[in-house]
């Protein structure tokens, strides 16, 4: 394992989180070191692990904002490691997968990944995707503390029995219970809440959450919406809020008087 400290306090004009901590889990030493050095030079604190077991050991004593996980590693693969990470923390996850393995990418998205990169990749692409995911990583403030703040200064919306704090990036349900949403799921929900009662195509949703417009991005949007429905709809098969407009896209129905 290797640790590369943050060489810059913050990049000028960068929207990345200052001193964000990233772990790179990759069994190819040259690639692992190259990614770590490049991200370290770009202003991030970076640690590396050569295997899933090494990463598990690392996470026992350290916390991270984001993990870049190679899927095809000897022993435990990246998908299994990512599932374990998500059960322990709200860490952002980017999977790295070999070209042509679309199934791995789909499975990764279904497991809650925030993004993926295809090998071989350029380091500039890695940096761009890291920045994109980190912009969506919630700040470390606990939801209960955030709820105690003055609501007048925060963006928030209500729908049905739910209340969404758009700045704190969490949703509460009945009795103030916090709904377990992955960051990627909240991204989609925020797009709909801020564009309620408007028809949104998959391309428009992909653009709003920072995805390129391609068939795989459309599939990724569908997966996120499917997961989101399971958490906010009483009957996901017959959604009240997040409705499909066949052949067109989706619309988030918000009754008059709700949303404020």
For each of the domains in the chain, give its residue range(s) and CATH number, in order of start.
Answer: 2-134 (3.40.50.2300), 143-252 (1.10.10.10)
Nearest to 48 by CA among 85, 94, 2, 82: 2
Residues 6+ apart with CB under 8 A from 176: 147
| Residue 210 to residue 62: CA distance in whole angstroms | 29
pLDDT of residue 126: 93
47 φ, ψ (degrees, to nearest 5): -120, 155
Q: Are 22 and 46 in contact (CB under 8 A)?
A: yes
| Residue 74 to residue 60: CA distance in whole angstroms | 21
77-80 contact pairs (CB < 8 A, 24+): 77/52, 78/25, 78/52, 79/104, 79/107, 79/108, 79/111, 80/52
pLDDT of residue 113: 76
Pairing between β-strand 2-4 and β-strand 45-49 as defined by DSSP bridges: antiparallel
For residue range 102-156, list pLDDT tens digits in order.
666 666 666 667 888 888 889 999 999 899 888 876 544 444 443 444 444 567 8
Q: Are 52 and 98 in contact (CB under 8 A)?
A: no
Pairing between β-strand 92-98 and β-strand 66-70 as defined by DSSP bridges: parallel
> Which pTM was predicted?
0.54
* Intervals of the chain under pLDDT 50: 5-18, 139-152
The alpha-helical segments, DSSP class H, found in 42-136 are 52-59, 78-88, 102-110, 123-134
């Amino acid at each position: 394992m290797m640790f590369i400290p943050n060489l810059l306090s913050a990049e000028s004009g960068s929207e990345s989180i200052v001193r964000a901590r990233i772990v790179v889990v990759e069994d190819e030493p040259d690639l692992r070191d190259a990614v770590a050095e490049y991200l370290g030079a770009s202003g991030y604190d970076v640690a590396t692990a050569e295997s899933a077991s090494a990463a598990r050991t690392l996470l026992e004593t350290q916390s991270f904002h984001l993990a870049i996980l190679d899927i095809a590693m000897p022993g435990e693969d990246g998908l299994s490691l990512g599932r374990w990470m998500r059960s322990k923390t709200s860490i952002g996850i980017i999977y790295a997968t070999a070209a042509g393995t679309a199934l791995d990418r789909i499975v990764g998205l279904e497991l809650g990944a925030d993004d993926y990169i295809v090998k071989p990749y350029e380091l500039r692409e890695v940096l761009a995707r890291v920045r994109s995911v980190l912009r969506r990583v919630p700040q470390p403030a606990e939801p209960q503390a955030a709820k105690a703040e003055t609501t007048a200064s925060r963006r928030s919306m209500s729908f049905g029995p739910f209340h969404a704090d758009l700045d704190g990036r969490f949703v509460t349900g009945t009795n103030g219970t916090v709904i377990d949403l992955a960051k990627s799921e909240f991204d989609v929900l925020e797009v709909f809440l801020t564009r309620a009662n408007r028809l949104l195509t998959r391309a428009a949703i992909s653009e709003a959450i920072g995805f390129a417009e391609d068939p795989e991005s459309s599939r990724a949007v569908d997966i996120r919406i499917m997961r989101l429905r399971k958490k906010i709809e009483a009957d996901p098969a017959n959604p009240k809020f997040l409705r499909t407009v066949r052949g067109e896209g989706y619309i988030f129905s918000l009754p008059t008087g709700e949303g404020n």
